[in-house]
Chains A and B, each alone.
Chain A
Amino acid sequence: MCDLDSVSDLTLTLRMLQFDKQVLPASGKISTSCQISPDGELIAICQNTDMLVYEISSSKMMKLTTTHKECINCLCWSPDSKCIASGSEDFTVEITHIIYGRIRRLMGHTAPVISICYNNKGNILCSSSMDESIKEWHVLSGTALKTMSAHSDAVVSIDIPKFDSSILSSGSYDGLIRIFDTESGHCLKTLTYDKDWIAEDGVVPISTVKFSRNGKFLLVKSLDNVVKLWEYTRGTVVRTFLWPHQETKAKLKYNCGLELIYPQGKDPLVISGNDSGSMCVWNVYSKNLVQKIDEKHRNSPLISISASYDKVATLSLNGECNLFRVH
Chain B
Amino acid sequence: MANLLLQDPFGVLKEYPEKLTHTLEVPVAAVCVKFSPRGDYLAVGCSNGAIIIYDMDSLKPIAMLGTHSGAHTRSVQSVCWSNDGRYLWSSGRDWYAKLWDMTQPTKCFQQYKFDGPLWSCHVVRWNVCIVTVVEEPTAYVLTLTDRQNAFHCFPLLEQDQDISGHGYTLVACPHPTIESIIITGTSKGWINAFQLDLESGFEDKIRCCYEEKIANANIKQIIISPSGTRIAINGSDRTIRQYQLIVEDNESEGGSSHSVSIELEHKYQDIINRLQWNTIFFSNHSGEYLVASAHGSSAHDLYLWETSSGSLVRVLEGADEELLDIDWNFYSMRIASNGFESGWVYMWSIVIPPKWSALAPDFEEVEENIDYQEKENEFDIMDDDNNLQAMTEAEEIAIDLCTPEKYDVRGNDISMPSFVIPIDYEGVIIQQHWAHQEQ
Residues on A lying within 8 angstroms of B by beta carbon are: 78-80, 82-83, 97, 100, 103-104, 119-124, 138-141, 145, 150, 161, 163-167, 178-179, 181-184, 186-192, 195, 212-217, 229, 231, 233, 235-240, 260, 262, 268, 284-285, 287
Which residues of chain B from 64 to 106 have any CB-CB distance to chain A below 8 Å in the complex? none
Interface pairs (10), CB distance under 8 Å: A123-B58, A124-B57, A138-B58, A139-B423, A163-B404, A186-B355, A188-B7, A190-B359, A214-B401, A214-B404
| B422 contact set on A, CB distance < 8 A | 80
Question: CB < 8 Å: which of A122, A138, A215, A268 contacts B2?
Answer: A215
Given contacts A100-B426, A214-B400, A285-B398, 15 further A-B contacts (CB under 8 A): A80-B423, A97-B425, A120-B420, A138-B58, A182-B57, A184-B354, A187-B358, A191-B361, A214-B401, A216-B2, A216-B400, A216-B401, A233-B6, A238-B394, A239-B395
Do A287 and B395 touch across chains, with their CB atoms under 8 A apart?
Answer: yes
Give the residues in chain B near A100, CB-CB below 8 Å. Answer: 425-426, 429
* B residues less than 8 Å from A178 (CB atoms): 359
**Assembled-state Cα–Cα distance A300/B40 (Å):** 45
- In the complex, are the beta carbons of B428 and A140 less than 8 A apart? yes
Per-residue 0/1 for B1-38: is the Cβ within 8 Å of any A Cβ (1 yes, 0 no)? 11111110000000000000000000000000000000
Does residue B317 face the partner (Cβ distance < 8 Å to A)? Answer: no
The distance from the CB of B45 to the nearest CB of chain A, in whole angstroms, is: 21
Q: In chain B between 152 and 195, which residues have their CB closer than 8 angstroms to a CB of chain A?
A: none
A103, B432: Cβ atoms under 8 Å? yes
Closest 8 CB pairs of A and B: A212-B401, A166-B1, A188-B6, A166-B3, A186-B354, A214-B404, A181-B3, A164-B1
Q: How far is it, in angstroms, between the C-alpha of A307 and the C-alpha of B239 when the chains are bound? A: 61
Q: Cβ of B135 < 8 Å from any Cβ of A?
A: no
Which residue of A78, A182, A229 is within 8 Å of B3 (Cβ)? A182
Q: Is the interface of A mostly helix, strand, loop or mixed?
A: loop
- For A121, give its contact among B57, B359, B394 (CB under 8 Å): B57
CA distance A59 to B89 in the complex (A): 44
Q: How far is the CA of A237 from the CA of B60 in the complex (A)?
A: 39
Output the nearest chain B residue to A196 by Cβ-Cβ distance: B362
Bound-state CA distance A166–B1 (Å) is 6
Q: How far, in angstroms, from A111 to B145 measured CA to CA in the complex?
A: 57
B115: CB under 8 A from chain A?
Answer: no
Q: Which residues of B contact A79 (CB under 8 A)?
A: 420
Q: Which residue of B lies closest to A214 (CB)?
A: B404
| A140 and B358 in contact, given A121-B420, A213-B402 (Cβ under 8 angstroms) | no
In Å, the complex CA distance between A195 and B60 comes to 40
Known: A164-B1, A237-B394. A123 touches B399 (CB 8 A): no
User: Which residue on B lies nearest to A186, using beta carbons?
Assistant: B354
Report Cα–Cα, A306/B74, bound state, in Å. Answer: 51
Does B352 have its Cβ within 8 Å of any Cβ on chain A?
yes
- Assembly CA distance A165 to B404 (angstroms): 14
- List chain B residues, Cβ under 8 A from A103: 425, 428-429, 432
B263 at interface, CB cutoff 8 A: no
Residue B421 at the chain A interface, CB threshold 8 Å: yes
Q: By CB atoms of chain A within 10 A, which of B40, B57, B362 has the most?
A: B57
How many A-B pairs fall under 8 Å by CB? 144
Give the docked Cα–Cα distance between A216 and B399 (Å).
Answer: 10
Judging by beta carbons under 8 Å apart, are A231 and B399 in contact? yes
Bound form: Cα–Cα A168–B338 in Å: 32
**Complex CA–CA separation, A125 to B430 (angstroms):** 20
Q: Chain B 43-63, CB within 8 Å of chain A: the 1/0 string? A: 000000000000101101010
Give min CB distance, B225 to chain A, whole Å: 27
Docked pose: A197 CA to B427 CA in angstroms: 51
* A237 (CB) vs chain B CBs: closest residue: B394
Q: Is residue B403 contacting chain A, with contact meaning CB distance below 8 A?
A: yes
Q: Point out the residue from B3, B362, B391, B427 that lies within 8 Å of A140, measured CB to CB.
A: B427
Known: A80-B422, A187-B354. A150 touches B359 (CB 8 A): yes
Expressed in whole angstroms, the Cα–Cα distance for A215 and B5 within the complex equals 12
Q: Which residues of B contact A (CB under 8 A)?
A: 1-7, 40, 55, 57-58, 60, 62, 352, 354-355, 358-362, 391, 394-395, 397-405, 417, 420-429, 431-432
Are A189's CB and B6's CB within 8 A?
A: yes
- Cα of A161 to Cα of B6 in the assembled complex, Å: 15
In the complex, how many angstroms separate the beta carbon of A77 from the nearest chain B beta carbon? Answer: 13
CB contacts (< 8 Å) of B402 on chain A: these are 212-214, 262, 268
> Assuming A189-B6, A262-B402, is B423 touching A140 (CB within 8 A)?
yes
Q: If the complex has contacts A78-B423, A166-B1, are A195 and B361 also in contact, measured as CB distance less than 8 A? A: yes
Instruction: Given the known inter-chain contacts A186-B358, A240-B395, please indicate yes or no for A164 contacting B425, CB distance below 8 A.
Output: no
Question: Which B-chain residue is minimally distant from A262 (CB atoms)?
Answer: B402
In the bound assembly, the distance between CA atoms of A255 and B76 in angstroms comes to 54
Chain A residues with CB under 8 Å of B58's CB are: 123-124, 138, 140, 145
- Distance in angstroms between the alpha carbons of A239 and B396 in the assembled complex: 8
Specify the chain B residue showing the minimal Cβ separation from A139: B423
Expressed in whole angstroms, the minimum distance between the Cβ of B415 and any Cβ of chain A is 11
Q: Point out the residues of chain B lying under 8 angstroms from A161, CB to CB.
A: 2
- Tell me how far the C-beta of B126 lies from the nearest C-beta in chain A, rounded to whole angstroms: 21
Most buried by A among B399, B417, B422, B426: B399
Residues of B within 8 A of A233 (CB): 2, 5-6
A138 CA to B431 CA, complexed, in Å = 14
Residues of B within 8 A of A260 (CB): 401
In angstroms, Cα B425 to Cα A82, docked, is: 9
B32 smallest CB distance to A (angstroms): 24
B1 in contact with A167 (CB, 8 Å): yes
A266 and B432 CA atoms in complex are apart in Å by 46
Given known A104-B428, A120-B420, contact A190–B361 (CB-CB < 8 A): yes
Contacts of B55 in A (CB 8 A): 121, 123
The answer to whether A216 touches B405 (Cβ under 8 A) is: yes
Within 8 Å by CB of A192, from B3, B355, B361, B424, lies B361
Chain B residues within an 8 Å CB radius of A192: 361
With a cutoff of 8 Å between Cβ atoms, the chain B residues found around residue A213 in the complex are 401-402, 404
How far apart are the CA atoms of A151 and B402 in the complex, in Å? 30
Separation in Å of the A163 CB from the closest CB of chain B?
6
Hey, which chain B residues are within 8 Å of A268, CB to CB? 401-402
Q: Give the nearest-CB partner of B403 in chain A.
A: A214
